[in-house]
Structure 1
Amino acid sequence: MHLSRRLLPICVHVRNASTKAKLKTKFNFELSADVSESLKNGSVKARRHAGRMGVGVVHLPEALSQAAFNTLKDYPEKSLLGDANKLSSYIWSRHAPLEKDEYHHKIRDVEDTIKEQEMVDPSSPHVGEELRGRLLESRKSKVITKMKKDVYHWKPIEYNGYRAAMYVAGRLAPDYASLYRIMAEVKKRDPHFSPLTLLDFGSGVGTSMWAVDNIWPGNCKEAVCIDSSSEMNDMADRLLRGGDPEKPLQTRPGGTFFKQFLPMSSTLKYDIVVSSRSLFELPDMASRLRTIDILWRKTSKYLVLVEAGTNAGYRLIQEARDYALKVGHQSEEERDHLEGHVFSPCPHDMFCPRFFDGSNTPCNFQVSYRPFRFGKYSDTSKDLFSYVVLKKGKRNDVGDNVAWPRIVRAPLCRARHVVCRTCTKYGTLQELTVTKKRHGKECYQISKNSDWGDMFPVELRDTSNSESDSSEPAHPENDLISYNTA
């Protein structure tokens, strides 16, 4: 089992990893009784079962698409789209900056490798001073060259007016699609939730605000958008004005506020707090965890974190997820305010099993969307993203927190059976093989009509033969990683 050095500085221990319940057979489940009954009486069709979380192909709202067109129409279309694609590729390939100890460790490794390749040892007493100086200078030059080649050199993206336009052309549609997909699930599973206030950290061009207003139209009365780039804030404001900076704000029912700095105080809380594609822009782990701490304290109901669906993005999401969960158990005085659980996508609060499965693949999800093309028709594209939605309060297995397994890879439809690759409430990855003979017609139909990212509405049963005697998941305090944020 390989543990990436990216997380080693913060992983002190993972307790009870060997005691998590694991189902012994791949047939050890049955369709949820309510879902089964709804299919039998015809009130719900299999393709629209309760676990379906897909939203189809996501289109930009007409007002946003027109505003983007009005904003970008004066730019040369071909060159802007080419530059936008380059920016998108750069954002996709982003890595978090190396910590200081990681960087020094890498230098030592590179230096040791170069030393082994040297024909003459500069420290030998037989080497003259002049030659020793040249050899040491040569070694230093080789180390620098090797480090430039092998080490990711992080720097924040600085946005000017043109780069903000590039972001609109290249990232507006996929960013909106992933946020729309995530918030549509929140609305479906928690129909009584209706956010009155929004805080968006790293708001960019205001994509989260548009997604919230389209999922809960007319509800959000206050949106606070925080981005360190004044140019991005100006672009977000211009999009709200339909692409004309002289027009009044007509597209939102509530107040909209743009800021460049995140307020430290936790006095004001927001119904939904979002950080989308922003953690990569922070200079080190301490800054990231400090930011997550502030955002979690400002959250009254939901905290939504989204990053690119790469290994690097997935690791930042896991870092933030486990830190926020740990914070909720560290202080008895603040537990009522900081305790929370994973609402989506994980059906558990334990350490992510994907990190230890040896596949070196991220836990990510896919959304289909229609790219922005200056008002012209465009083919459907797909975007991969990693995310977590954290909800304040204790976890329970009823209502919006039902602990059905999450389908984390596309199901495999084979002759007379379907393999659903899931993450379960026991904190394990489990392949659930569905056949009509063993599980019934309804369960088989559900499996054929489920997709990557859906919840699989089955109950895992007969856990008396599992490695753990309890059918309940281990207490999250026993499975969270400990942090050293000094």
Structure 2
Amino acid sequence: MNSLRNLHSVCRFSLRTLSTKEQTKPAFNFKLAGGVSEAIASGKLKRRHHPGSLGVGTVTLPDKLNQAVLTYLSSTEYSPKHLENDGKILSTRLWSRHKPLEDDQLRQKIAAIEAKIVEKETIDLDAPEMREEVRKRLLDSRMSKMHERMKREIYNWKPFQYDKYMSAVYMLARLVPDYAALVKILSEIRSRDPAFVPLAMLDFGSGVGSGMWALDGVWADLCKEAVCVDASPDMNNLADTLLRGGDPENPRQVRGGGTFFRQFLPMSDALRYNLVLSSRSLLELPDMDTRLKIIDILWRKTSGYLVIVEAGTSAGFRIVQEARDYVLNLTQTTGEEEVTCGDSHIFSPCPHDKICQRFNFSRIPLCNFSVNYKPLTLTKNQNPTSDKFSYVIIKRGARQQNHQEEWPRLIQQPLLRKRHAICRTCTSYGRLTELISTKRRHGSEIYRVCKYSNWGDRLPIVLPEPTEIPELDQSEDDSSENDESEQKKEILH
């Protein structure tokens, strides 16, 4: 794992916030991609459903899975009210999750806290004339103050333990939003790569099987082998029970193809899978060494697509970027030479393989997306809600050289103003660019394409040369209140 150590500096560099705050003007000189304008004008293509549109609407659980959940819960003695209350608590804890501190970071924080406390002390504890019992009492007082400040200022990361009850709580709280996010992500692969067939899937941190169900929801009856890896045996048992319609005694599974459950990730890369998935699992690993080791194993098991998904928070985005940068900079040692593995590229969401510019121009480094879903509830019907997630899809092979691969990605919902639409995008040149479309300047077709596009879509437009495109100034980022709360948490922890 020499490459693992060698890439620590690369990952750390790409994950720090730079101070560049160059103000530039937005871009106006762009046009619709070839063929799109004609198709819209002729009526063959609707503006709301242009080729870059990736919406999946409001996602609901498949009837088989929904019924399996209800069947399982009806066979238990768990109180529906307690399950839902504990589910809300668990969702809040998962959303506010942060990366565990590395050992050197922890030591630096403790040293800084101790230095602040010592600075305020008026008595020199090293004075030779001080009695030993007084020195001990003052040292105990110092340690007590340190512990209090450490509780407030240092994030106390602990792994979640999922027993039978907590697995049911997780199922009720996270099954639907996790399933919905994966359906949206995998639907993009199917839309942009219709020839891809996921015959075999590996799901690391599979939980209650949301990845397996999402795969079947996008590619029905095509996956012949699904390997689900989760450290919790109770999680695996629950996922298997849902496959049996909610009845663990049912000998038949409701999905076709073979499904296998494992507690430990196989270290060998002899077996490869078309699709390798890690959904909200890397943030549950104790340190960077472990995360990079897992990413290394997952990538070596990938023959098609590697999908990494985390919560749509600043911490989740940083974990995704860590995985992204590691795979893109992965090196293999051959004798005394290091050879860069140039057999991968970012399929989504980035239209480029450069360092993410959100770390250059954002006060809060964060790139996330949203999906609507109908929540699972036992006590009352609820209206559709949404969930935010950060993700990256890495594909084996070199990037295809065509205009569709260069379409910019909307990183925020378009801002609709009088007579113009403002689209904040990530472009194939590795820049964040603000595109402003007006009817007068661009025509009604491109204006309405921008107007009816949504956060996360790809805009089917052709950009000029990179030297002619200004970068998006995000020194005054006007994201959401959730982003501001994330910044406060980063300061506190």
Asked if these proteins are the same fold (TM beyond 0.5), I'd say yes
Tell me the equivalent position of 1:339: 343
- Selected match of 1:89 from 77, 89, 92: 92
What residue number does 1:220 align with?
223
C-alpha distance in 2, partners of 1:374/1:127? 66
CA RMSD, aligned part only? 2.5
Q: Is the 8 A contact 2:19 2:360 kept in 1?
A: no
Q: Which residue of 2 aligns with 1:327?
A: 330
In the alignment, what sits opposite 1:114? 117
- C-alpha distance 227-349 of structure 1, shift in aligned 2 (>3 A): same
Mean CA deviation greater in 424-433 or 195-204: 424-433
Is 1:140–2:112 an aligned residue pair? Answer: no
**Which of 382, 388, 397 lines up with 1:393 in the alignment?**
397
Does residue 357 (structure 1) correspond to residue 358 (structure 2)? The answer is no
What is residue 202 of structure 2 aligned with on the other side?
199
Report the CA distance shift for 1:355/1:329 in structure 2 as closer, same or farther (over 3 A).
Answer: farther
**1:27-84 superposed Cα distances (whole Å, 9 cap, x missing partner):** 1311112211211111110000011011110000110000011111232111111111
- Where does 1:43-82 land on structure 2 (aligned, <5 Å)? 43-73=44-74, 74=76, 75-82=78-85
Change (3 A) 1:127 1:236: same
What's the counterpart of residue 4 of structure 2?
A: none
Q: In structure 1, how many angstroms separate the alpha carbons of the residues matched to 2:112 and 2:167? A: 39
Is the CA contact (8 Å cut-off) linking 1:178 and 1:367 kept in structure 2? yes
| Amino acid across the alignment from 1:36 | S
Query: Which residue matches 1:423?
Result: 426
Q: TM-score, normalised to structure 1's length?
A: 0.89
Q: Distance in 1 between matches of 2:182 and 2:221?
A: 18
CA shift for structure 1 position 250: 3.1
Aligned residues: 458
Q: Distance in 2 between matches of 1:261 and 1:184?
A: 28
1:235 aligns with 2:269: no
Contact 1:289 1:323 in 2 (8 A): yes
In structure 1, runs of 5+ residues without a counterpart are 1-6, 469-486
- Alignment partner, residue 34 of structure 2: 33
Please tell me the residue identity of whatever aligns with 2:71.
Answer: N
The reply on whether 1:458 has 2:461 as its aligned counterpart is: yes
Is the 2:26–2:434 contact (alpha carbons within 8 Å) kept by the matching residues of 1?
A: no
Contact 1:24 1:465 in 2 (8 A): no
Question: Taking every aligned residue pair, what percent have the same amino acid on both sides?
Answer: 51
Matches of 1:281 and 1:111, distance apart in 2 = 29
CA distance, structure 1, for counterparts of residue 19 and residue 351 of structure 2: 19
Aligned to 1:410: 413
Kept after mapping to 1: 8 A contact 2:19/2:361 = no
Contact in 2 for aligned 1:327/1:339 (Cα 8 Å): no
Gap regions ≥5 residues in structure 2: 1-7, 472-493
Tell me which residue corresponds to 2:296: 293
Q: Deviations over 1:88-108 (max 9, x none)?
A: 111111111100000000001
Paired AA for residue 175 in structure 1: D
Moved more, 199-208 or 453-462: 453-462
SS in 1 for 2:276: strand
Q: 1:140 to 1:63 in 2, by over 3 A?
A: same
Deviations 1:228-269 (Å, cap 9, x if unpaired)?
100000000000000001112332210000000000111100
Distance in 2, matches of 1:84 and 1:375, equals 13
Q: What does residue 475 of structure 2 align with?
A: none
What is the Cα deviation at residue 127 of structure 1? 3.5
User: Is the Cα contact below 8 Å between 1:23 and 1:466 reproduced in 2?
Assistant: no
Please name the residue that 1:483 is paired with.
none
Alpha-carbon distance, 1:117 to partner: 1.4
Alignment TM-score, normalising by the size of structure 2: 0.88
Question: Contact 1:114 / 1:143 at 8 angstroms: preserved in 2?
Answer: yes
- Answer whether contact 2:429 2:466 (CA < 8 A) is retained: no
Evaluate the alpha carbon distance shift between residue 375 and residue 402 of structure 1 in structure 2; reply closer, same or farther with a 3 A threshold. farther
- For the structure 1 residues 167 and 320, does the alpha-carbon distance in structure 2 shift closer, same or farther, using more than 3 Å as the test? same
Q: Which residue identity does 1:32 align to in structure 2?
A: A
1:476 maps to what in 2? none
Offset of 1:330 from its aligned partner? 7.2
SS of alignment partner, residue 11 of structure 1: helix
1:384 aligns with 2:385: no
- Identify the match of residue 371 of structure 2 among 343, 351, 367: 367
